[in-house]
Structure 1
Amino acid sequence: MAPRSFLQWPVVRQLTTGDLLGRGPSVTSARTKAIAPRTATADRVVQSVCPYCAVGCGQRVYVKDEKVIQIEGDPDSPISRGRLCPKGSASEQLVNSPGRQTKVLYRAPRSTEWQRLDLATAVEMIAERFIETRRRTWQQEDEHGRLLRRTMGIASLGGATLDNEENYLIKKLFTAAGAVQTENQARI
């Protein structure tokens, strides 16, 4: 590191530039002037909504080379006015985390090992079990002959990273299937 001259001292710069309170360029180092925000290199900015809770805070998603590089609060959002909670601020990790699962994993009953399945097989297994459970637990009427048309064998608990559109579709599906209990983790 090269020695600094007397004229580079922040106090001297404050006095010589007229920045007496030391809040302007006189206290900014050359290194700080050279730093650029990582959002400056983004190819595009996409407006989005935070996926965590039902508040709907606005987000700006910065994309470079088709990869999310930063997510910040959207100051144009009338809901959050550019602010995000700690979970919303860390939502970039939802896409870029090295631990993010991108393959379907299945663990058979009483098994200790996970196995990979292709998506079509997993969806077919879920659909078969859903239909069988609904058929087996269907209640058409109660003991007094009143119409019920429900199943108590199926319930839904949505996660905090589901957006409003996903929750809407889940609610419609489970209601149409006769499930009584449809809940979301964000409300609990």
Structure 2
Amino acid sequence: MPAFSPLEWPVFRQLRSGDVFGRGPAVTSAKTRGIEPRTATADRVVQSVCPFCAVGCGQKVYVKDERVVQIEGDPDSPISRGRLCPKGASSEQLVNNPMRQTAIRYRAPYSTQWQDLDRDTAIDMIADRFLEARRRGWQDRDDEGRLLRRTMGVASLGGATLDNEENYLIKKLFTAAGAIQIENQARI
């Protein structure tokens, strides 16, 4: 174990360095001074928008070796001015979580096993079911003959990780399809 000099005690470092209030370099240890932040070693910084709600807080995404290593608030953002809520600050976990599903999984009715599907098969299955539910629940007119042109067989519940543009397009899609039950988790 290296010898530790009393002259290296924080109070003596304060007096020697002129850091009278002990809020600067006089109170940092050698170990702390040797630590380098992840943001300093990033290959590049990408400006982004937090995906969690409709506020649109600006983010700085730090990337190293094509992997997100840190996400911080963007001080240039007129909306958040460099701040992020706890959900926004944890959004790095959206892409780096080892439990993140990256394959399309399907479990048939009454099955106990999941199977992987390719994207085109999954999209076709969803489209077929959507159109069939829309057709079965379609109401063209009410009992008094008034025009309705709606479906009661389709509803939408959006998630808070979608941004404004995605929610806008989803709202337009479901409205055009005749759905009237359109809601979003961020508003509930």
TM-score, normalised on structure 1? 0.95
State the partner residue of 1:159.
159
1:156 Cα shift? 0.6
Q: Distance in 1 between matches of 2:132 and 2:19?
A: 76
State the partner residue of 1:111.
111
Q: Which amino acid aligns with 1:164?
A: N
State the partner residue of 2:178.
178
Cα RMSD of the aligned pairs, angstroms, is: 1.2
Question: Once the two structures are aligned, what percentage of the paired residues are identical?
Answer: 77
Q: Distance in 2 between matches of 1:25 and 1:103?
A: 49
State the partner residue of 1:10.
10
1:108 Cα shift? 1.2
State the partner residue of 2:42.
42
Q: Distance in 2 between matches of 1:122 and 1:81?
A: 41
Structure 2 unaligned residues grouped into runs of 5+: none
Q: Secondary structure at the match of 2:51?
A: coil
Q: Distance in 2 between matches of 1:117 and 1:19?
A: 63
Q: Distance in 1 between matches of 2:98 and 2:78?
A: 33
The Cα offsets for residues 156-184 of structure 1, whole Å up to 9 and x where unpaired, read as 11111111111111111111100011111
State the partner residue of 1:87.
87
The Cα offsets for residues 8-28 of structure 1, whole Å up to 9 and x where unpaired, read as 122222222222211222222
Structure 1 unaligned residues grouped into runs of 5+: none
The Cα offsets for residues 111-162 of structure 1, whole Å up to 9 and x where unpaired, read as 2221111111111011011111111111111111111110011001111111
TM-score, normalised on structure 2? 0.95
Q: Which moved more, 1:28-37 or 1:86-95?
A: 28-37
Q: Which moved more, 1:67-76 or 1:21-30?
A: 21-30
Q: Distance in 2 between matches of 1:122 and 1:24?
A: 58
The Cα offsets for residues 11-61 of structure 1, whole Å up to 9 and x where unpaired, read as 222222222211222222222211111001111111111111111111111
Q: Secondary structure at the match of 1:70?
A: strand
